[in-house]
Amino acid sequence: MPAMNLVQAINNALEIKLREDEDILLFGEDAGLEGGVFRVTQGLQAKFGERRVFDTPLSESVLLGAGLGMAVTGLRPIVEIQFSGFMYPAMNQLVTHVSRMRNRSRGVFTVPMTIRMPYGGGIRALELHSESMEAIYGHVPGLKVVIPSCPYDAKGLLISAIESNDPVLFMEPKKIYRSFRQDVPEEAYRVPLGKASVTRQGEDLTLVAYGAMMRVASKAVEQAAKEGTDVELIDLRTIYPLDRETVLDSVRKTGRLMVLHEGPKTFGVAAELISIVNEEAMEYLEAPPQRVCGFDTIMPLPMGEDHYMPTPERVLYAIEKMKAFAE
Amino acid sequence: MFDSFDPLKGKMLRILDERGKVLKAGQKWMPELSDEELVDGYRAMVRARVADERAVSYQRQGRIFTLPTNIGQEASAVGTIKALRPDDWMVQSYRELGGVLAKGGTVKNHLAYFSGSETGSVHPGNPRLLPLSVPITSQVTHAAGIGHSIVYRGGDEVAITFFGDGGTSQGDFNEGLNWAAVYKCPVIFVCNNNQYAISLGRAAQTGSETLAQKAVAFGMPGMIVDGNDYLAVVAATRAAAEHGRAGKGPVLLEMYTYRMGAHTTSDDPSIYRSKEEEESWLAKDPLIRMKAFMVERKLWDEDKEEALRKEMGAECDEAMREVENMDPTPVEDIFRYQYESMPPELERQMQDYKAFLAWKESR
């Protein structure tokens, strides 16, 4: 089994699907010849030709709009938005058409489109190249929002996303594009959308994270174990639909919930998860839930970025506060 | 044809004058249409006119909600679609009722939509007609994508899309036309220049002398067409379709017309335009000139006109009654079409709501 990093795993999933299905087209700004600014689609144009994998004019709105037009005729476009911070010119298409067409047309016209975009901080980038705004998209009815945290999941989730007959926003944690390798099967496999994964069993506390924050979470959990706290770690993997059962089962066992994400704290994924736990499992809680998140600020430029990005230490600090409450 | 009507020189394709006489200069461009096709086209325009007039009256009676009408622009709406094939794609905005009906849409579904039912977004038999699009000009990009798909699959269909003079100020106008030109997509971009974007007049909308000239910068043909002249509309659309089917890419047609009605039934045009102006356009009504042309050729007469209007009025009244007898949207339908299969959270929300309904019922 080959070892792949996140970029290679995504590229591999794209190649498998492009080979399998002639109705799939892949396009984006610099996504063809160059293979994208992060080289995620490198080599695909050479393999599948310029009709299947192509560069587009610099125009995000029509990337999604034309994608929708292709989709209603039966094609399955895979669209790359170069950075999640460049999605905003296309928000109109995403919110007013892509996510609505199935409902609007009572299922006559559907949009089996996958929109890939790198997101997240920690790469010392320019303004609008580091945000983590998944909560915005989770709020849009009709969209599915997926965020992988490792190469194995990225490949399996992306194949599921491409095969979904609903539009899927596939957010790629660019901070960990090349951070580590994992054994990834060469053949196609699927990781289901809407299913979280318990990556570490624990008894004392449930920590939920996703995307690049899973690396931060893992480090914190290791350290916490040394300091005597046994944390159960859940990788959410899909923002919408949320896998509430996995989180609830875990919280019923541990009695404590902490959620970690880069995005702004207010109205974020953590807020939603805590609401669910309050609604369904409040009687199991032994301490108030904790959120370790980005701030309700503009993502700082690199000289201020380290203040913003959650770290293992911030998780440990929150764990300590939770334990203090119990005592 | 496009070479003969340079948009930068403000030339306009016209075949009929306002009294329905064939213009000398228009003769050359007269589209081949059988008597049956002429009658069919005219009937389709009247059908749209009557449907709009009835709909406005239903709205005034409180039987349907606010709606925009196609009144005055029927030649552009009907002539374009009649010039195309059933397997071509129509990407509408919201002021092309004549085209929607010509594409296979029904008055009933039209009225159902403006009575508040999504079922009216689509039509029986699922013609290649996308649902009405509210965000101005956003649909232009969809037509570009459909055109792209046609090229990819090696088909010879075309996509036609509609927007207004105000719509040319939107970013999606630029993005959609640019995409179609880059990839030579067979798309007919129809700008219905009806002189108003709600209250804002055409002159205040853009610094361009004409709207068709915007095509020049995109690298596609652009032409101004008398949008109240059914025959000119058919001729121009046929030429644009031929252009697209031959792999030459998109065309921009500026249909020079007038929104004879209000923007929607909630609008009051007296705030922004004069009675005199409105009256000056009455004589240019596309139905009047086409009727005169037909009468001259002995294809039409007052008896036929009266019978047709009666028939269409009855069709509308029947459709309205059917819509009024529709059940309210079932709870399931609100949830069912969000995703291919309902996510557990949606299922839960639906069940919670049903439990509430049962509780309410039991009180």
pLDDT tens sequence across B182-206: 999 999 999 999 999 999 999 999 9
Catalytic position from the list B95, B243, B259, B289: B259
Question: Same structural domain for residues B336 and B289?
Answer: no
Question: Same structural domain for residues B165 and B87?
Answer: yes
Q: Do A61 and B179 touch (CB under 8 A)?
A: no
Contacts of residue A241 in chain B, CB cutoff 8 Å? 343-346
Q: Give A 28-57 residues with CB within 8 A of chain B.
A: 51, 56-57
B345/A contact by beta carbon, under 8 A: yes
In chain A, what are the domain boundaries? 3-183, 197-326
Read off the CATH number of the domain in which B174 is found: 3.40.50.970
Are the C-beta atoms of B237 and B188 separated by less than 8 Å?
Answer: yes
Tell me which residue in B119, B130, B139 faces A109 most closely, judged by beta carbons: B130
Predicted pLDDT of residue B293: 97
Predicted ipTM of the assembly: 0.96
pLDDT in tens, A94-108: 999 999 999 999 999
Contacts of residue A108 in chain B, CB cutoff 8 Å? 122, 126
Q: Do B138 and A97 touch (CB under 8 A)?
A: yes
**Angstroms from A204 CA to nearest CA on chain B:** 27
Are the C-beta atoms of B253 and B65 separated by less than 8 Å?
Answer: no
Q: Which region, left, alpha or beta, applies to residue B137 given φ > 0 means left and ψ of -120 to 50 means alpha?
A: left
Answer CATH for A3-183 from 3.40.50.970, 3.10.20.90, 2.40.70.10, 3.40.50.720: 3.40.50.970
Cα distances (angstroms) measured from residue A270 to each of A82, A210, A242, B132: 26, 11, 11, 37
Closest chain B residue to the Cα of A165, Cα to Cα:
B340
Catalytic position from the list A129, A139, A261, A307: A129
Rounded to an integer, what distance in angstroms lies between the CA atom of residue A146 and that of residue B213? 44
B118/A contact by beta carbon, under 8 A: yes
What tokens were used for A228? 């005597």
Average pLDDT on B156-185 reads 98
Q: Do A59 and B144 touch (CB under 8 A)?
A: no
Q: Do A92 and B172 touch (CB under 8 A)?
A: yes
Residue B272 is among the residues annotated as catalytic for this protein: yes
pLDDT in tens, B243-273: 999 999 999 999 999 999 999 999 999 999 9
Residue B363 is among the residues annotated as catalytic for this protein: no
- Number of domains observed in the structure of chain B: 2
Tokens 């009675």 locate to: B275
DSSP reduced 3-state for A81: coil
Tell me which residue in A75, A105, A164 faces B149 most closely, judged by beta carbons: A75
DSSP reduced 3-state for A28: strand
Residue B85 is among the residues annotated as catalytic for this protein: no
Q: Do A240 and B159 touch (CB under 8 A)?
A: no
Question: Same structural domain for residues B235 and B342?
Answer: no
Alpha helices in A200-284 (DSSP H): 213-226, 244-254, 269-281
Question: Same structural domain for residues B199 and B309?
Answer: yes
Contacts of residue A107 in chain B, CB cutoff 8 Å? 336-337
Question: Same structural domain for residues B88 and B130?
Answer: yes
B117/A contact by beta carbon, under 8 A: no
Q: Counting runs of H as helices and runs of E as strands, what totals does chain B give?
A: 13, 9
What backbone torsions phi and psi does residue A76 show, to the nearest 5 degrees?
Answer: -125, 85
Residue ranges of chain A with per-residue pLDDT less than 70: 326-327
B176/A contact by beta carbon, under 8 A: yes
Question: Same structural domain for residues B150 and B299?
Answer: yes
Q: Which of A22, A54, A73 best tests the B interface by mutation, with the highest count of B CBs <10 A?
A: A73
Going by pLDDT thresholds of 50, 70 and 90, the confidence category of residue B10 is: confident
**Angstroms from B180 CA to nearest CA on chain A:** 9
Tell me which residue in B122, B142, B343 faces A69 most closely, judged by beta carbons: B142
Are the C-beta atoms of A202 and A233 separated by less than 8 Å?
Answer: yes
Average pLDDT on B169-187 reads 98
A275/B contact by beta carbon, under 8 A: no
Question: Same structural domain for residues B347 and B264?
Answer: no
Contacts of residue A79 in chain B, CB cutoff 8 Å? none
The CATH number of the structural domain formed by A197-326 is: 3.40.50.920
Rounded to an integer, what distance in angstroms lies between the CA atom of residue A108 and that of residue A272? 32
Question: Same structural domain for residues B74 and B17?
Answer: yes
pTM exceeding the 0.90 threshold for the entire prediction: yes
Question: Same structural domain for residues B350 and B237?
Answer: no
| Residue pairs spanning A and B at CB distance below 8 A | 137
Nearest-5° angle of CA A53, CA A54, CA A57? 155
Q: Do A102 and B141 touch (CB under 8 A)?
A: no
B134/A contact by beta carbon, under 8 A: yes
Residues in chain B: 363
Amino acid at B2: F
Q: Do B126 and A64 touch (CB under 8 A)?
A: no
What tokens were used for A4? 């792949």
Predicted pLDDT of residue A326: 63
Are the C-beta atoms of B98 and B68 separated by less than 8 Å?
Answer: no
Closest CA to A118 of A174, A170, A80: A174
pLDDT in tens, B81-118: 999 999 999 999 999 999 999 999 999 999 999 999 99
Predicted pLDDT of residue A202: 98
Q: Do B141 and A72 touch (CB under 8 A)?
A: no
Catalytic position from the list B60, B152, B272, B336: B272
Contacts of residue B150 in chain A, CB cutoff 8 Å? 73
Predicted pLDDT of residue A325: 86
Closest chain B residue to the Cα of A167, Cα to Cα:
B339
Tell me which residue in B122, B138, B175 faces A59 most closely, judged by beta carbons: B175
Distance of CA A30 to the CA centre of its chain: 22
Going by pLDDT thresholds of 50, 70 and 90, the confidence category of residue B221 is: very high
Tokens 């915007």 locate to: B214
A70/B contact by beta carbon, under 8 A: yes
For residue B284, give every residue at least 6 positions away whose Cβ sits within 8 Å of its Cβ, in sequence order, or none. B18, B228, B258
Question: Same structural domain for residues B141 and B22?
Answer: yes
Q: Beta-carbon neighbour count of residue A192 at 10 Å?
A: 11
Closest chain B residue to the Cα of A56, Cα to Cα:
B179
Structural domain harbouring B361: 331-363
pLDDT in tens, B282-331: 999 999 999 999 999 999 999 999 999 999 999 999 999 999 999 999 99
Rounded to an integer, what distance in angstroms lies between the CA atom of residue A212 and that of residue A172? 9
Question: Same structural domain for residues B61 and B195?
Answer: yes
Closest chain A residue to the Cα of B144, Cα to Cα:
A66
Q: Give A 114-143 residues with CB within 8 A of chain B.
A: 141-142
Are the C-beta atoms of A28 and A53 separated by less than 8 Å?
Answer: no
A3-183 and A197-326 share one fold = yes
Predicted pLDDT of residue A45: 98
Predicted pLDDT of residue A327: 60
Rounded to an integer, what distance in angstroms lies between the CA atom of residue A199 and that of residue A221? 11
Question: Same structural domain for residues B110 and B232?
Answer: yes
Predicted pLDDT of residue A59: 98
Q: For chain B, what is the mean pLDDT?
A: 97
